[in-house]
Amino acid sequence: MAHPVGTDAAAGLLVDEMTEFATLTSQNGRSATKTNGQPLVAFRGVDKVFANQVTALSRLDLEIRAGEFLSLLGPSGCGKSTVLRLLTGLTSPTQGEISWSCERPEFGFVFQEPTLTPWSDVFHNVWLPLRLAGCSKEKARPRIDEALAQVGLSGFAKAYPRQLSGGMKMRVSIARALVTRPAVLLMDEPFAALDEITRLKLNDDLAALQASLGATVVFVTHSVFESVYLADRIVVMAARPGRAVAEITVDAPGPRREGFRVSPLYAETCQRTSAALHLAMGEAPQNGLLE
């Protein structure tokens, strides 16, 4: 598939990037968890039909491994978001089963919109999950400070959402998802509404964050580039009815850094992923996208 030379070059580049990152954070849990991840949850033949008779998912088989960054990629209406809702237990499958290898873990959830409560400041927004669990303001404060630091928003605790830019609001939303130190982070097209510059920056920050947290991330997107840049594994989904049609492993070790975007491995994986997506959408792959 990949040109050997290209892969080597990419690997060399990434090793450099990785060591640079390691010296910066002195933490690198990702490479340990990504390849040997135990199955965390498995969807087996899952159907989901909504009350209005729309079939969101049809016979979906999907395995999510502990510690991996899994990207669900597909066109609108392919049931990506439904997979996340099924994972949280907010809705249950019409048919088939979802089996967890352990007890259903603590989730963090990030929506496409920041979904903050506009009437409370950043501190209170991030406090919310802990507050609902009965954790007092004073007890929660260190965790909130930590979560805000993780998303680079220390010092913004007293700001109201409307005073923040779209990217900063999204960071607050991520901090709120992280404050419970969830084992699984579910993200539903979190950066889709942001401008390109902000999105790239947040992608970089998310990659670094996941590497240091070692959490399992399920990331729904319709961007090929975003999924290749971030994910260990990409599951391509097709619409009407929603189902998984292809799986692509992104063989780049270590946390992704800006340089990954210009590596041959990145380009090659984008081509493969894009071709799979076109197939999933029932179109012929564009010229040059398939080898």
Partner 1 sequence: MTSEDFIGYAVPALTLGLGLFVWEGVVRFFAIPPYLLPAPSVIISTLFTDWWTLSSSLWVTLSITLKALLAAVFGSVTLAVIFAQSRLVERAFYPFAVALQVTPIVAIAPLLLIYLTPSVAVLVCAFLVAFFPLLANTTLGLSSADNNLVDLFQMYRATRLQQFMLLRAPSALPYFLAGLRISGGLALIGAIVAEIAAGSAGQGSGLAYRIVESGFRLNIPRMFAALLLISVAGITIHVLLTAFSHWLLHDWHESERGREA
Positions touching partner 1 (CB under 8 A) are: 85, 88, 90, 107, 109, 111, 113, 115, 117-120, 128-129, 131-133, 160-162, 180
Nearest distance in Å: CB 97, partner 1: 21
Dihedral sign, CA of 216, 38, 81, 193? Answer: positive
* Cβ distance to partner 1 smaller for residue 114 or 254: 114
Closest CA to 148 of 129, 115, 126, 118: 126
Nearest distance in Å: CB 106, partner 1: 9
Nearest distance in Å: CB 3, partner 1: 44
For residues 135 and 127, what is the distance between their CA atoms, to the nearest angstrom? 9
Q: What share of the chain is helix, strand, coil (3-state, %, to 5)?
A: 45, 20, 35
* Cβ distance to partner 1 smaller for residue 129 or 254: 129
Query: 86-105 in b/e burial notation, b at 16+ Cβ within 10 A?
Result: bbeeeeebeebebeeeeeee
Nearest distance in Å: CB 234, partner 1: 25
Nearest distance in Å: CB 11, partner 1: 39
Closest CA to 221 of 45, 18, 63, 83: 83
* Cβ distance to partner 1 smaller for residue 113 or 145: 113
Nearest distance in Å: CB 56, partner 1: 16
Task: Label residue 25 left, alpha or beta by phi (over 0 means left) and psi (-120 to 50 means alpha).
Answer: alpha
* Cβ distance to partner 1 smaller for residue 54 or 133: 133
